A and B are shown apart, each in its own frame.
Chain A
Amino acid sequence: MSLSTRDRTHFLILKLHSLTGIFPIGAFLVLHLLVNSLRTVGVWQYQLSIDLINNLPFLIWVEILFIYIPLLIHSLVGFLIIFSSKINLKRYPYPRNWGYTLQRITGAVVFFFLIYHLGTTVGPKLINGKEHFEAAPFLIDIMNREFQTVTGCLLYLVGIVSATYHFCMGLWSFCVSWGIIVGPMAQRNAGIVFALFGLALTALGVATVTEFSLDPIPVEATVGGGAS
């Protein structure tokens, strides 16, 4: 059979969905949480990391190619997958079925959270043309205000927990569906390892939110004077 039969296309789209979940989206999520947690080390270190990112060459193209397009593909196919299944948790409430069902729910939650998240950060940044060293004070100011309200904090906590859960459950199902972990023991052990990894990621996210919320520090642009 040739590689490009219609049937094979269906298979390849699902495999692409699965792959994009790990790379680049999953990898980005880990990096993103890690970099943001620099805020708990110090606002200076945090600003430096934002400066670094915002001075990368071809930033917008890298973002489009490695974040927005894969995310769009993953979300679109993700919703198609969600709508093609028939949740039956009530009848068959086994732990793995819980995991599966929550995986679908958190996928949808993350999607709507990301619309909000991008709409309040990258969106205004691009509209106001805050590039290079101007980005950090602009973004940090937004986040400082975001975490002064309980709703803002809750919104981010839900978003972060959903994303880390979805990602770590996804790591596990990726390993099963690509045949990386096969036997029941291997599947169970990998589940434990990924759960611990998920907890660590969640802790990073929660610590960052807490730091922002308890200690909002305004900053000025590292290079080029005035903040806004």
Chain B
Amino acid sequence: MKSKPVILKVKRQDTPDSKPYWQTFETPRKPMANIISCLQEIQRAPVTADGKRVNPVVWDCNCLEEVCGSCTMLINGRVRQACTALVEKIESPVTLEPLSKFPVVRDLQVDRSRMFDNLKKVKAWIEIDGTHDIGEGPMMPDAIRAKRYVLSECMTCGCCLEACPQFKAGNDFLGAATFSQVRLFNLHPTGQAQKENRLDALMGRGGIADCGNAQVCVEVCPKSIPLTESIADIGRQTSLKLLKDFLSK
């Protein structure tokens, strides 16, 4: 059976500072193909639709099962992972672009360090190291564990930031993923020791008050993390802290 090839329009960029340009590729339509397997086809035979031999397209990927977040890109203009973008289910020709709000490294590969820097700013971890053995942690109620489990599924993919109207390449908005991680670690019995510091980091430039409640983040999160609930919950935590600071400092 001969079926029509998959047409891929790829936005390419050779270096972080050079001008982007578009190239069109055609790859054979195979059953169960996803965007990653199409990109692998291009890697094997990097020839454009009009027969020109070019450098293979560069992209990021790792787990291939939507838990690492590294293959996040704009597919037909919408942010999502390339691994779960099945060719049969998306419109052809398919346009592939790098994320627009992170610096491009090359072609579809971007630098998402900003997300990890943001996690550092809010101490998105649990401090257990000390000069002495601090012993066993307290028990965690099962309801809290269940709540935290959902939040812990965040893979730092950046979908929620790419689609957020308040998150821009040049500004310092921390974004929904960061807010949700603060909630995750503030819910932890041991993590609560750093609660005030985490909230402090969110009560500043680019923090929780910069969120405009457009709620696009929750629509595009591939892990269905209840981001808008996290945002409101962090809103509540910061409101209470504001009141407390106001009355007791």
Q: Do A and B come from the same complex? A: yes
Which listed segment binds A: B11-19, B187-195, B211-219?
B211-219
Contact with B along A72-96 (1 / 0, CB 8 A): 0000000001001111100110101
Contact with B along A97-127 (1 / 0, CB 8 A): 1011101000000000000000000000000
Asked if B229 and A8 sit within 8 Å, CB to CB, the answer is no
Would you call B163 an interface residue if the criterion is a C-beta within 8 Å of the partner chain's C-beta atoms? yes
Would you call B207 an interface residue if the criterion is a C-beta within 8 Å of the partner chain's C-beta atoms? yes
Interface residues on B, range: 35 or more
Asked if A182 and B215 sit within 8 Å, CB to CB, the answer is no
Interface residues on A, range: 35 or more
Asked if A97 and B215 sit within 8 Å, CB to CB, the answer is yes
Q: Contacts A1-B200, A5-B204: A100 and B212 contacting too (C-beta < 8 A)? A: yes
Partner of B232, one of A10, A92, A97, A187: A187
Minimal beta-carbon separation of B106 from chain A (angstroms): 24
Asked if B233 and A96 sit within 8 Å, CB to CB, the answer is no
Which secondary structure dominates where chain B touches chain A?
helix
Partner of A85, one of B166, B203, B220, B246: B166
Contact with A along B226-249 (1 / 0, CB 8 A): 101101111111111010011001
Nearest A residue to B202 via CB reads A11
Would you call A214 an interface residue if the criterion is a C-beta within 8 Å of the partner chain's C-beta atoms? no
Question: How many angstroms from the CA of A10 to the CA of B201 in the assembled complex?
Answer: 12
Q: Contacts A2-B249, A187-B228: A182 and B214 contacting too (C-beta < 8 A)? A: no
Asked if A10 and B204 sit within 8 Å, CB to CB, the answer is yes
Question: How many angstroms from the CA of A85 to the CA of B210 in the assembled complex?
Answer: 10
27 A/B residue pairs, CB under 8 Å, sorted by A: A2-B249, A7-B203, A10-B204, A10-B207, A11-B204, A11-B205, A11-B209, A15-B242, A84-B171, A85-B212, A86-B165, A88-B216, A91-B77, A94-B215, A94-B219, A96-B219, A97-B216, A97-B219, A100-B165, A176-B228, A176-B231, A177-B231, A179-B232, A182-B229, A183-B229, A183-B232, A187-B232
- Chain A residues close to B by CB (< 8 Å): 1-3, 5-8, 10-11, 14-15, 18, 81, 84-88, 91-92, 94, 96-97, 99-101, 103, 172-173, 176-184, 187
